[in-house]
């Protein structure tokens, strides 16, 4: 069996579930349909795949619970495994962090929705990323308001900061995320094609035909556009510190923490006006032009843009990029004072303080 490593966690605390193996004869199922590695889609699950999936997780979770006898279980995603854990161990307090992709999967894999919702309704406490997501969780899963609390999510301020920033005179743009249409990458490439005297770095990976098409599109724009591949957090922080403008033209996000990571490294930001985005975008940063919000195109479902709306979206994105380029040229660095409070309350130390309060509340 391949060895699994998790940062600073001893081997005897790791209980891996192996996909593409006899017990799970298919690639890992991703919470997004496009993942930066070979994956399956929940939308393609038939009864046989669902049985294999739940059986493998049930076996492993029982092993863990019997070995460590947890006081509380903290799961991620209001999805199949959380519902399974609730059914298997109704007596153990269960808290769950929703990252937003679970809400999207309810739409994409709606044949699994009833099974998911029936289990997740019994979760003791759900942690949401923002107020808009909290509202959607309550609506989709029929949860009471006291069951859902907004905790946000954190970034590593030991990595993402202004230490050793090396922004030169040549304007550098950067995108960080999966190579997918749902992230808006093809239209970002179209938007920068005719913008002169800039470079764009694409940090992120992806598998399958969709990601390969994006790679080919990017390569046609070389040397203006560079593909960096998937980066570690340390490497991404270094790239942000060399870049002037971070662009995230995504059509769907839970809480785009990468926005805070970029801001912490003194990047100006262009982001689509996503639901709940105002919860983490400081008003001062928007008012002073550090953050530009681009209107979303009209969408079909959670993340498919209408074709007739794309020319306007590309034009809006291009306008925002040109405006931020002009700002960056006039002011190479910017004062982070208006951002400090927002950045500080979204560090991992602050987020875990809020999570710990929820643990204590559930255990009382």
Residue 335 has pLDDT above 60, yes or no: no
pLDDT band at 333 (very low <50, low <70, confident <90, very high): low
Assess whether the previous peptide bond of 10 is cis (omega < 30° from 0): no
Weakest-pLDDT range from 91-95, 188-192, 346-350: 346-350
Backbone φ and ψ for 173, nearest 5 degrees, come out as -100, 155
pLDDT score of 279: 74
Question: What would the DSSP string read from start to end of 222-237?
Answer: TTTEEEEES--HHHHH
Q: How sure is the predictor about 133, in pLDDT bands with cuts at 50, 70 and 90?
A: very high
Burial class (CB in 10 A: 0-12, 13-18, 19+), 242: middle
Structure tokens at 85: 């854990």
CA distance 98 to 30: 15
d(CA 14, CA 138): 32
Q: What is the pLDDT of residue 2?
A: 55
pLDDT band at 175 (very low <50, low <70, confident <90, very high): very high
Direct distance between the N- and C-terminal alpha carbons of the chain, in angstroms, rounded to an integer:
40
Q: How far apart are CA 174 and CA 255, in angstroms?
A: 19
| Rounded alpha-carbon distances, angstroms, from residue 201 to 102, 156, 173, 187, 291 | 29, 22, 6, 15, 19
Return the pLDDT at 237.
Answer: 97
> And the tokens for 177?
């995320």
Domains of the chain: 11-154+352-363 (3.40.50.2000), 171-340 (3.40.50.2000)
């Amino acid at each position: 069996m391949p060895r699994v490593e998790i940062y600073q966690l001893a081997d005897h605390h790791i209980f891996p579930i192996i996909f593409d193996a006899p017990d799970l004869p298919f690639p890992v199922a991703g919470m997004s349909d496009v993942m930066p590695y070979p994956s399956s889609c929940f939308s393609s699950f038939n009864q046989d795949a669902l049985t294999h999936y739940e059986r493998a997780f049930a076996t492993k979770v029982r092993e863990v619970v019997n070995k460590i006898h947890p006081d509380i279980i903290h799961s991620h995603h209001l999805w199949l495994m959380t519902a399974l854990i609730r059914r298997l161990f109704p007596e153990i307090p269960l808290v769950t962090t929703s990252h937003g992709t679970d809400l999207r999967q309810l739409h994409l894999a709606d044949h699994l929705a009833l099974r998911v919702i029936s289990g997740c309704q019994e979760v003791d406490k759900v942690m949401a990323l923002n107020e808009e997501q909290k509202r959607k969780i309550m609506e989709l899963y029929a949860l009471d308001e006291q069951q859902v609390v907004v905790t946000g999510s954190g970034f590593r301020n030991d990595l993402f900061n202004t230490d050793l920033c090396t922004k030169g005179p040549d304007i550098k743009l950067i995108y960080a995320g999966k190579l997918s249409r749902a992230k808006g990458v093809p239209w970002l490439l179209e938007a920068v094609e005719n913008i002169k005297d800039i470079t764009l770095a694409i940090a992120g990976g992806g598998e399958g035909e969709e990601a390969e098409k994006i790679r080919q599109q990017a390569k046609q724009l070389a040397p203006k556009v560079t593909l960096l591949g998937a980066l570690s957090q340390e490497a991404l922080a270094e790239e942000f510190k060399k870049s002037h403008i971070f662009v995230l033209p995504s059509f769907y996000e839970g809480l785009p923490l990468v926005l805070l990571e970029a801001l912490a490294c003194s990047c100006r930001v262009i982001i689509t006006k996503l639901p709940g985005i105002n919860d983490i975008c400081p008003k001062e940063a928007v008012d002073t032009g550090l953050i530009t919000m681009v209107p979303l195109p009209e969408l079909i479902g959670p993340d498919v843009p209408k074709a007739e709306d794309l020319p306007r979206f590309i034009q809006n994105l291009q306008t925002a990029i040109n405006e931020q380029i002009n700002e960056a040229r006039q002011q190479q660095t910017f004062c982070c004072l208006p951002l400090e409070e927002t950045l500080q309350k979204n560090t991992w130390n602050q987020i875990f303080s809020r999570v710990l309060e929820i643990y204590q509340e559930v255990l009382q």
